[in-house]
Amino acid sequence: MTGTTLDDYTDRYAQRVRGMTASEIRALFSVTSRPEVVSLAGGAPFVSALPLDAVGEMLGRIGGPEHGATTLQYSGGQGDIALRERICEVMSLSGIDATGGASPDDVVVTVGAQQALDLVSRVFLDPGDVVLAEGPSYVGALGVFQAAQADVVHVPMDEEGLIPAALAEALVTVAKAGKRAKFLYTVPTYHNPGGVTLSEDRREEILEIAERAGLLVIEDDPYGLLGFDGEPVPALRSRRRDGVLYLGTFSKTFAPGMRVGWILAPHAVREKLVIASEAQILCPSMFAQTAISTYFATMPWLEQIKSFREIYRERRDALLTALTDMMPPGTRWTQPKGGFYVWLTLPEGLHSKEMLPRAIAARVAYVPGTGFYADGSGGSHLRLSYCFPTPERIREGVRRLAGVLGEEMKMREVFGTAAPGTRPAVSWTPAGTYNAAAANHPAPGLE
Amino acid sequence: MTGTTLDDYTDRYAQRVRGMTASEIRALFSVTSRPEVVSLAGGAPFVSALPLDAVGEMLGRIGGPEHGATTLQYSGGQGDIALRERICEVMSLSGIDATGGASPDDVVVTVGAQQALDLVSRVFLDPGDVVLAEGPSYVGALGVFQAAQADVVHVPMDEEGLIPAALAEALVTVAKAGKRAKFLYTVPTYHNPGGVTLSEDRREEILEIAERAGLLVIEDDPYGLLGFDGEPVPALRSRRRDGVLYLGTFSKTFAPGMRVGWILAPHAVREKLVIASEAQILCPSMFAQTAISTYFATMPWLEQIKSFREIYRERRDALLTALTDMMPPGTRWTQPKGGFYVWLTLPEGLHSKEMLPRAIAARVAYVPGTGFYADGSGGSHLRLSYCFPTPERIREGVRRLAGVLGEEMKMREVFGTAAPGTRPAVSWTPAGTYNAAAANHPAPGLE
């Protein structure tokens, strides 16, 4: 009943979308919003913890007679200066400040950090270019790189984050293939989906390797202010004013429904980003920008972030305790010190994507590890998020998941363990056991 | 003081942004927001006419305790179903309805119609592809096509809009050059910047030509409901359920500061558009979507559109009267029946881009015609907008502009008329005098 159902447009599509189809797990996820399913899948922040009375009052005021003629109007492509100033204030908590060359003039406001990522790709990536990214990597970034027709080469991580030797190896591999890596895309702090944080020592090491190779670093930092212990980890950008583009978002410190993020970029790059953004969206929403700059100017946002941290720490604890209490032997997981996610490695022989329909039947949802690798590996892993459900629900979710794992293991015992596609992924290597041989294996698209 | 000022990134940029620089007239426009300048340049709707008390109250309510947990959260990539239903209601005013296959399921919500345009380009355009577009054409669309590395071939218009014979000719020219036109981009109703409307007869003719050639039609309709006489003109999409993608926006019927537009696309295309949009922005703002669906569900929006029409009609009349009263002989202009713009042709020898600094010195601003042609032609023309200034200011602006024209003409008389680049553009041809020879001249990039 919806017009054309056969695809008459096949021969007209651009190269980049041929074969582009909706994710095969999307249909499954459409049921995860049902109340009976415990979803450990999504990355939705717990916005109910915001002071919604005050927020609503503020939103009404900025959209009313006093400010409406401005907030409901078009604005500039780079973003409102009042917001760009607040952004600099927020970044200073991560060690990015005027001393290090951060200025409102070099900030571009975007439709969430997702558009920031897309703009960076538009400005730097030609089809066939190589992007280095952690393995696993943020699924939304992989979507952007795929749309840019870039080849993603995953660089292994361990409990301390991206492995410097593996990055150096990857650069060699890419060069040997006659390609050039345009940039490293990294989430160094409270990684999505890895749940790990790049250690202090490695930060400098990674930056030095990048500098030597002339490799641009795209630092994506949505969770930096949501650490559970002490002060925020200084960002990579705080160590280098050039060579690092910093991506931020208000989706986790305020509200994703506003869709506001930003890029801090060297001046020359910033100019290109603004032009690219204008071609894409004309300008960011002036209403959303005013909402956020007003929130950060007039409301106790630092207190609010502290309260978010407490909520997420309690939930992280609930998840880790439940995993320890209930997961079958052979299951491993990361210990996040901030952010939203735990990365779980299944007992041998189990495959997270194959198991998903049975998990959903058992009323628990997660994201299979395969979503976080451009080459479809990662089946031995899955991502659990603890940001949205209550501790009780998290525990119940883990109970259900443990049941599913137990059943799977029993099945494997009966039918044998050689299920297809269940070999352990090479790119998730425990600390200290990095396997250089595995990293030398070129990623698809480089062969 | 802002980090790198030299561009160290030159050799890393993607092909599409090499040579991408900020518009040369941008610097000039930075002064047009000064109160002493009468700006006939911008396309900002008169949002002050909205019932801002009620709008503010509504915005406060949807962001407050009752709805905040939903409106401040992530939402789906295709857009909220409540809004997509309202969009179908709005489109039905332009003759696009369920009988013609329009369904909320085939609507994709976007960040203004600009993102809609960008998504269409992402899905259909490879570098080197040809796009047909009216000459002149919407400057924001030209930016998108340039970013997509497509070649734009302008098809002449006259007072009745796009000239069918010229479209047929252009298709032949493109085919002869061994290229394929992927789509026709058109603003058939109350054209920006042309100020003309495609006549009833030509609508069918254009669609038939497109159908025969297998040419997709991208119908951009921001102004369709802002006509000054009687009922809205039925959209091209109301005549064909396939082969036409329809782009709409709430920027002119409600508020551009919310950045909400949409695409209605055949089902198979819609799927691609959603995936492309998710890669670009994850999802549209749930707050903005709820604001608009609530506005259209609970407030007298049709009355408001009527009131907008009255305001813009009065301003159009003020502009046309002032032009008639004050413009020097040899100046011509279009007679818009809706929308925001008048397209003005200068007396021979004058060049709108060269004249702009002097106009701004005389405290009046317009957009030079060159901005609306991909090949930099259009210097004999300029766009005047009447949407934002009051009738008094419009008249004052025209008075200043007439003074500038008079001065320019005097100068030409003294120094001769052969100023460079001031030959009349071939692509703005009065009705009935379409010159096929001119249309045969290939556009740059096709030679």
For residue range A44-78, list pLDDT tens digits in order: 999 999 999 999 999 999 999 999 999 999 999 99
Q: Are residues B241 and B350 in the same domain?
A: no
Long-range residue pairs from B5-10, CB within 8 A, at least 24 positions apart, any chain: B5/A267, B5/A268, B6/A268, B7/A268, B7/A269, B8/A242, B8/A266, B8/A268, B9/A216, B9/A266, B9/A268, B9/A269, B10/A268
What would you measure as the largest C-alpha separation in chain A, in angstroms?
Answer: 71
Domain presence at residue B101? yes
Domain presence at residue B7? no
Domain presence at residue B1? no
How would you class A405 by CB atoms within 10 Å of its CB: exposed for 0-12, middle for 13-18, buried for 19 or more? buried
Domain at B294, CATH number: 3.40.640.10
B184 contacts B216 by C-beta, under 8 angstroms: yes
Q: Are residues A125 and A60 in the same domain?
A: yes
Boundary (domain end) residue, out of A279, A298, A317: A298
- Structure confidence by residue, pLDDT tens digits, B177-209: 999 899 999 999 999 999 999 999 999 999 999
In this complex, do B269 and A52 lie within 8 Å of one another by their Cβ atoms?
Answer: no
Domain presence at residue B440? no
A276 CB near a chain B CB, below 8 Å? Answer: yes
B24 CB near a chain A CB, below 8 Å? Answer: no
Q: What are phi and psi of A101, to 5 degrees?
A: 85, 15
Domain presence at residue B11? no
Q: Are residues B27 and B112 in the same domain?
A: no
B25 contacts B356 by C-beta, under 8 angstroms: yes
Boundary (domain end) residue, out of B298, B326, B347: B298
Q: Are residues B325 and B264 in the same domain?
A: no
Q: Which of A21, A59, A142, A211 to mutate to test the interface with B (most CBs of B within 10 A)?
A: A59
- Structure confidence by residue, pLDDT tens digits, B261-291: 999 999 999 999 999 999 999 999 999 999 9
Boundary (domain end) residue, out of A265, A298, A331: A298
Query: Which structure tokens are listed for B339?
Result: 């929308």
Domain at B349, CATH number: 3.90.1150.10
Query: Which structure tokens are listed for A85?
Result: 């100033």
- Structure confidence by residue, pLDDT tens digits, A329-372: 999 999 999 999 999 999 999 999 999 999 999 999 999 999 99
Q: How many domains does the structure of chain B reveal?
A: 2
Q: Which of A282, A289, A340 to mutate to test the interface with B (most CBs of B within 10 A)?
A: A282
Closest among B444, B372, B447, B350 to B156, alpha carbons compared: B372
Instruction: Provide mean pLDDT across the span B363-392.
Output: 96
Domain presence at residue A207? yes
Q: Are residues B267 and B345 in the same domain?
A: no
pLDDT at residue A22 greater than cutoff 90: no
Q: Are residues B250 and B374 in the same domain?
A: no
Domain presence at residue A5? no
Query: Which structure tokens are listed for A47?
Result: 């916005």
Name the residue in chain B with its Cα closest to that of A49.
B69
Domain that holds residue B412: 22-49+303-433
CA A162 to the chain's CA centroid: 15
Query: Which structure tokens are listed for B443?
Result: 């556009």
Closest among A334, A81, A73 to B50, alpha carbons compared: A73
Q: Are residues A183 and A328 in the same domain?
A: no
Q: Are residues A204 and A326 in the same domain?
A: no
A278: left (phi over 0), alpha (psi -120 to 50) or beta: alpha
Scored b (16 or more CB within 10 A) or e, A131-150 reads: bbbbbbbbbbbbbbbbbbbb
Q: What is the 3-state secondary structure (H, E, C) of A182-205?
A: EEEEECCCCCCCCCCCCCHHHHHH
Q: Are residues B174 and B285 in the same domain?
A: yes
Instruction: Provide mean pLDDT across the span B73-100.
Output: 96
In this complex, do A53 and B60 lie within 8 Å of one another by their Cβ atoms?
Answer: no
Q: How far is B70 from chain A (nearest CA, A)?
A: 8
pLDDT for B421: 44
Q: How far is A257 from chain B (nearest CA, A)?
A: 4
How many Å apart are CA A162 and CA B135, to the nearest integer?
Answer: 52
When pLDDT is cut at 50, 70 and 90, the band that residue A108 belongs to is very high
Q: Are residues A318 and A257 in the same domain?
A: no
Q: Are residues A272 and A357 in the same domain?
A: no
B207 CB near a chain A CB, below 8 Å? Answer: no
How many Å apart are CA B371 and CA B136, to the nearest integer?
Answer: 9
Closest among B22, B95, B57 to B291, alpha carbons compared: B57
Domain presence at residue A11? no
Kindly report whether the peptide bond that precedes residue B51 is cis, defined as omega within 30 degrees of 0. Answer: no
Amino acid, single-letter form, for residue A116: A
Chain A residues lying within 8 Å of B30, measured CB to CB: none
- Structure confidence by residue, pLDDT tens digits, A167-216: 999 999 999 999 989 999 999 999 999 999 999 999 999 999 999 999 99
Q: How far is B294 from chain A (nearest CA, A)?
A: 14
Q: Are residues A202 and A338 in the same domain?
A: no
In this complex, do A64 and B75 lie within 8 Å of one another by their Cβ atoms?
Answer: no
B255 contacts B229 by C-beta, under 8 angstroms: no
Name the residue in chain B with its Cα closest to that of A288.
B258
